[in-house]
A = this chain, B = another copy of it.
Amino acid sequence: MPLTGQAFIGAQRAAHAGSTFQALNPSTGQSLDPPYFSASTADVDKAARLAGEAAPTLAAASGISKAALLRDIAARLDALQQPLAERAHLETALPMPRLLGEVTRTTGQLRTFASLIEEGSWVDARIDTPLPERKPLPRPSLRSMLRPLGPVAVFGPSNFPLAFSVAGGDTASALAAGCPVIVKAHAAHPGTSELVGEVVQQAVAAAGLPEGVFSLLFDSGIEVGAALVRHPLVEAVAFTGSLGAGRALMDMAAARPRPIPCFAEMASTNPVFILPGALRSGPESLAQGLFNSFTLGAGQMCTKPGIVLVPDQPEAPAFQSKLADLVNQSAPFTLLTAGIAHAYARATTHRASQAATVAQAPASAADPACPAHAQLFETSLEAFLREPALSEELFGPDTLLVHCPSPADYLRVAQSLDGHLTASILGSEDDLAAHRDLIAILEQKAGRLIFNAFPTGVEVAPAMVHGGPYPSTSNSQYTSVGTGAIHRFARPVCFQNFPDAAVPQELQSTNPLGILRQVDGIPTRDPLTS
């Protein structure tokens, strides 16, 4: 499949017209062909209208048929694993093993949602049987279930060119819910996006679904995204990226004449609280684990640990010394884009004016075009509490140690925190038992609490919560990873007094799909007894 640089407006390719941009190889600084054409307002409108037209058909499709689409997309992506990873490597400089694995994660996610909708119970079917003899008034028959919201605009981030991009978790969960998807590709990996977009559109066509089920638009600026979020036919937004861009989309979605939900995953510093037992049981391995976590993916992970609370105790110097050695000896990292590299350089310089630099990896002649040198900062408890900027996310391979006289100080730190995706506690089980208050506060500040592990690594599983209070996300009531992510794109609809033939199969008396339902409040897979 040669790359063309053109958007997919449904099954059609957009015109070779308008302004163009090119991806950049972050290792070499070289531009990558082909040039990509920014979508026009007319392209956005056409994609939205096609999505609106496709919505009823996709909403009426069974779980089995939507699952077949997801499985076909997954199979086609698996068949392209090597070329996909190679193009993504050119565009992101992420290592090939990581990118090959990301293809597998992407197809695994698609199959996870396929399994979920094949089984079918996710729709939360509820049936209240009629009580015609009830006084003073009879109770009607009520049956409700989750139904799709309609067209969803998906914005992927720079740091997961596959698993959170064109056919990533947002697209997979939106399609699984029965919502058409319009993806605005991230400008840093348009070639990877085009390859995946071609696959998705092929699968849509092969399934005999309307072309408007999927469109893919390119843009290096903000116009296309803004037009999408404001389009009257778009019903929801899923975004992963920076706080600035995410908040702008949130505000646009909320300011529409008819506001729509915006699920934005944005900024998280993922605080790590070290308790005495963790340092006692091995300060050097603790340092190694932390270093691995904050430099994973060159520190460009939404769950990178960016704040580390360290208690003053005898093993603390060994921990910090080992961490400093690892940082000082680390090779230069390649960041995803020139913009991210500039932002990292600027932010670390600024941070060095607010906190002390403990260690910094050296620049070298072998530096890539978009370089980053790992950095380790430290500050005191009081300085940290005084300066809110110290708890902001830096996107790159750095972290900040906050020295606390004692873990008793952690409550004040926890209270001062904004929302985060994760909060980690490292220590013995006795430490944990002694810090129930800390857990109670952190539960209010994060979506996932982690004991004795580092926060990077987000499992795709039913119990995962990849979400958290603002500013880590726009809406802490949902997760963007794991099967729960499908709930972002559905809403309950109740059918009152409808005959069996006029309601979806999920609600019919015989329970033909055999799903778990709440019948008069009791979970059961049984048919209704009439």
Binding site for B on A (CB under 8 A): 55-56, 59-60, 101, 121, 126-128, 136-137, 139-140, 142-144, 147, 149-150, 250-251, 254-255, 258-259, 261, 418-419, 429, 432-433, 436, 439-441, 443-444, 446-453, 457, 459, 461-465, 467, 469-471, 474-479, 483-484, 487, 490-499, 501-502, 516, 518, 520-521, 523
A345 shortest CB reach to chain B, Å: 28
Q: Quick check: A142 and B447 within 8 Å, CB to CB? A: no
Quick check: B453 and A140 within 8 Å, CB to CB?
Answer: yes
What's the number of copies of this chain in the assembled complex?
2
A516 contacts which of B254, B418, B452, B523 (Cβ < 8 Å)? B523
A498 vs B436: C-alpha distance when bound (angstroms): 12
Helix, strand, loop or mixed for chain A's interface? Answer: mixed
B518 touches A463 (CB 8 A): yes
CA–CA, A20 to B465, complex, Å?
A: 47
Q: B491 near A259 (CB under 8 angstroms)?
A: no
Chain B residues contacting A520 (CB-CB under 8 Å) are 462
B518 & A462 in contact (Cβ 8 Å cutoff): yes
- Are B483 and A448 in contact (CB-based, < 8 A)? no
Whether B493 and A56, one on each chain, are in contact in the complex, defined by CB atoms closer than 8 angstroms, is no
If A137-B457, A250-B259 touch, whether A494 touches B464 (CB-CB below 8 Å) is yes
A463, A487, A494 interface centre (most CB from chain B within 10 Å): A463
A251 to B257, CA, bound (A): 11
A492 near B432 with CB under 8 A, answer no
Roughly how many angstroms separate A521 CA and B464 CA in the complex, as a whole number? 11
**A441→B254 CA distance, assembly (Å):** 24
Q: List 23 A-B contacts (CB under 8 A).
A: A55-B444, A56-B440, A59-B444, A121-B523, A126-B463, A128-B459, A128-B462, A142-B461, A142-B464, A144-B464, A150-B444, A250-B254, A250-B259, A258-B469, A258-B470, A432-B499, A433-B502, A448-B495, A451-B496, A451-B499, A451-B502, A462-B518, A477-B487
CB neighbours of A499 from chain B (8 A): 429, 432, 451
Bound Cα distance from A126 to B496, whole angstroms:
31
Complex: A483 Cα to B144 Cα, angstroms: 12
Decide if B139 touches A433 in the complex (CB within 8 Å).
no
Contact, CB under 8 Å: A447 / B497? no
Q: How far is the CB of A387 from chain B (nearest CB, A)?
A: 17
Given A463-B518, A492-B479, A521-B483, do A451 and B142 touch, yes or no (CB 8 Å)? no
Q: Give the distance in Å from the alpha carbon of A261 to the alpha carbon of B250 in the complex.
A: 12
User: Do A498 and B451 touch (CB < 8 A)?
Assistant: yes
Known: A60-B440, A254-B254. A497 touches B463 (CB 8 A): no
Q: Which of B261, B441, B497 contacts A477 (CB 8 A)?
A: B261
The answer to whether A459 and B140 touch across the interface, beta carbons within 8 angstroms, is yes
| One of B447, B452, B487, B491 near A494 (C-beta < 8 A) | B447
Asked whether B463 lies within 8 Å of A143 as measured between CB atoms, the reply is yes
Instruction: Check A449 against B516 for contact (C-beta < 8 Å).
Output: no
Question: A137 CA to B453 CA in the complex, in Å?
Answer: 13
Kindly provide the distance from the CB of A62 to the nearest chain B CB, expressed in whole angstroms. Answer: 15
